[in-house]
Amino acid sequence: MQTLNFQAVLDEIDAEIRPQLGAGGTVASYIPALARVAPAQFGIALRTVDDREACAGDARTPFSIQSISKLFTLSLAMQRMGDGLWERIGREPSGSPFNSLVQLETEQGKPRNPFINAGAIALADRLLTLFGASAKSDLLALMCTLASEPVAFDDEVAASEAATGYRNHALANFMKSFGKLDHAVEAVLDLYFHQCAIAMSCVQLARAAGYLCRDGAHPCAPGVKLLTERQTRRVNSLMLTCGTYDAAGEFAFRVGLPCKSGVGGGIVAVVPDRLTLAVWSPALDATGNSLLGMKALELFVAKTGLSVF
């Protein structure tokens, strides 16, 4: 591997991003517990395939991973179901906001992809079939082994989202009306709201997503395979085309890495065969992606030349 001083690169990015904190974007306000997060924070962390770690800024502060959780539920469902998964979920970019109801009506309750909210709700339904009542704890246990540290649900965020998740209730009820959910809407949403409310830091996320740059091999448990090489390639492809919603084209243009974002302000990015990277800054742009997180990824690619293109 080309020798790069990753710690120096992340320190430089932190120094360039920090003066911009507070200068743009807004924290997600439709989930009241997220609206209280201080916007002027920034963290960045990475882990290489040869287990080197580097981090800067607020990289050890836990935040709500929100839609980044969809990476891990997709991986679990792919691992257990193989191609059967795609009967209920598509693989095309939506070009619409992550919580849009529009395509679901015309496409008879089959979500466009696993990373929009409807797709993640369909995944939660599959996980209830696969894991039953222990689905929430099984998912959390996976996150702990991937991060190699204890990880927990933020129950306040989960409750806040359950109390105000009108659109997600609408999406789930819509899918149920088309016969596309096997479990009760409340049970499916309880799992979905909890997965979104997992709290993790950039350091933990960069580690946990490590299987995506290792052809599916567990980042912290030698010899354990989470996904096959082919499945891992597919998750990365979906991240590139659908991982940042209707900004996926802009991300591909400006960053050129498979990325998955969340409205907590986190973004996970993968440099296949090299490293995984996690950035966090809570202020979002109009598409629900972290404004400074995206800038930091752009800087990382410019400074290191690491990109899939």
Nearer to ligand DON, 70 or 274 (CB): 70
- In b/e form, how buried is each residue of 171-210, taking b as 16+ CB within 10 angstroms? bbebbbeeebbebebeebbbbbbbbbbbbbbbbbbbbbbb
Per-residue CA distances from 204 to 87, 153, 164, 201 (Å): 32, 14, 28, 5
Of 27, 49, 157, 263, which one is the catalytic site residue? 263
Q: How many CB atoms lie within 10 A of CB 114?
A: 28
- Known catalytic residue at 69: no
Distance (Å, whole) CA 206 – CA 190: 26
| Given 168, 201, 231, 281, the residue binding ligand DON (CB under 6 A) | 168
Instruction: Please identify, using beta-carbon distances, which residue of 63 and 300 lies nearer to ligand DON.
Output: 63
The nearest distance, CB 31 to ligand DON, in angstroms, is 7
CA atoms of 147 and 209, how far apart (whole Å) = 8
Q: Name the minimum Å distance from CB 217 to ligand DON.
A: 27
Contact string (CB under 6 A) for ligand DON, positions 225-264, x = contact: ------------------------------------xxx-
Is residue 67 part of the annotated active site? The answer reads yes
- Cα within 13 Å of Cα(52), Cβ side: 11
Binding residue (CB under 6 A) for ligand DON from 41, 66, 100, 276 = 66
For ligand DON, the nearest residue by Cβ is 67
Q: Which of residues 109-128 bind ligand DON (CB under 6 A)?
A: 117
From the list 73, 31, 26, the residue with the least C-alpha distance to 167 is 31
The binder of ligand DON chosen from 41, 48, 67, 231 (CB under 6 A): 67
Among 58, 125, 161, 190, which residue interacts with ligand DON (rule: CB under 6 A)? 161
**Is 211 tagged catalytic?**
no
Rule CB under 6 A: say whether 174 interacts with ligand DON.
no
The pairing of beta strand 259-261 with beta strand 198-200: unpaired
| 90-101: burial string, b at 16+ Cβ within 10 Å, e else | beebbeebbbbe
Nearest distance in Å: CB 37, ligand DON = 13
Neighbouring-strand partners of residue 271 = 275
DSSP label at 108? Answer: T
Catalytic residue IDs: 67, 70, 192, 245, 263
Sites of contact with ligand DON (CB under 6 A): 66-67, 98-99, 117, 161, 168, 196, 261-263, 288
